[in-house]
Structure 1
């Protein structure tokens, strides 16, 4: 945490500052996410394990309203307690910001169409 987090913070903020200074942030969606969070407690080896129950996503620019927090976890960051966000909503939000119609179907390997996102999935409206 003393090495990786500060390096990440500096790189992420430098990217956003650069995009903003060049007038590109409003047309560039920056999404920072992973497929899982980390356990709220340290494991016996001194690290944290994968934890899919609660995780964090950052969005900036490209059609997203800044300064928003959607949802809330419990006091130790183990479980969502307010407005849980599903991974499909994150994907739908990205596709929406990219200008893709969410009811689009794409051909699969055998030619059978499949939906871009699960039918009925909506973007995270609080961000748009």
Structure 2
């Protein structure tokens, strides 16, 4: 009934494009609300799948549920999914006690992430899904405080898998201490340009206006890192 009234309203308005776009967004919001409970019901998964992700087991239950839900969202057609692993429940920021901190966190994420990749591949979804495992900075190679590590933006790693990525390679290198990049540095504009390319977008044409000038999202230096592409 509501849809019929909306169509009548659109027709009387002369097919206004802005009204049509708003009606489409309302309809999408309704479909999302109607489908969300089904998508988020992890009980619909088999026992074997839940076990593969580490659901209902410690220490993998929390992150395993997030990764399994991510796969279900992708299956339902969601175009972008972000899975966070961060403060306050989980804490990579180890200014002290790095060894225990890293071991505890790795025990929580390794199995769910591996399950996510294997599950996508088994379902034929990995080749169409770009998976990015990233952070905003690395850690210093030298100790800080009580055997911790400080923030270090000068050299750190990001891994990618799936759609359009040539797997099984490492790109770039640091010096012998891991302080600075010594070969094949990838800047943030380069990384963003590469991701946009994999999404089918020409990063050089994506601009925004500021103070009367057009600026590229990837600045003037961003270049696609083609060596990592399949």
Q: In 2, distance between residues paired with 1:112 and 1:10?
A: 47
Structure 1: runs of 5+ lacking an equivalent: none
| 2:121 corresponds to | 20
Q: Does 1:91 align with 2:192?
A: yes
Between structures 1 and 2, the one with greater helix share: 2
| 1:80 corresponds to | 181
Alignment counterpart, residue 52 of structure 1, candidates 153, 168, 190: 153
Pairwise CA RMSD = 1.9
Q: Classify 1:105/1:83 alpha carbon distance in 2 versus 1 (closer, same or farther; 3 Å).
A: closer
Q: Classify 1:47/1:102 alpha carbon distance in 2 versus 1 (closer, same or farther; 3 Å).
A: same
Q: In 1, distance between residues paired with 2:227 and 2:177?
A: 24
If the length of structure 2 is used for normalisation, what is the TM-score?
A: 0.51
Does the 8 Å CA contact 1:31/1:60 hold for their aligned counterparts?
Answer: yes
Higher normalized contact order (CA 8 Å, seq sep 6+, divided by chain length): 1
Deviation of residue 71 (structure 1)?
A: 0.8
Deviation of residue 112 (structure 1)?
A: 6.0
Q: In 2, distance between residues paired with 1:88 and 1:7?
A: 31
Does the 8 Å CA contact 2:204/2:216 hold for their aligned counterparts?
Answer: yes
Between structures 1 and 2, the one with greater strand share: 1
Q: Does 1:127 align with 2:228?
A: yes
Q: In 2, distance between residues paired with 1:111 and 1:18?
A: 48
Deviation of residue 122 (structure 1)?
A: 1.1
Higher mean C-alpha displacement, 49-58 vs 7-16? 7-16
| 1:63 corresponds to | 164
Q: In 2, distance between residues paired with 1:30 and 1:62?
A: 8
Does the 8 Å CA contact 2:129/2:162 hold for their aligned counterparts?
Answer: yes
Q: In 1, distance between residues paired with 2:138 and 2:170?
A: 17
SS in 2 for 1:45: coil
Deviation of residue 111 (structure 1)?
A: 8.4
Higher mean C-alpha displacement, 107-116 vs 62-71? 107-116
If the length of structure 1 is used for normalisation, what is the TM-score?
A: 0.88
Alignment counterpart, residue 43 of structure 1, candidates 144, 154, 158: 144
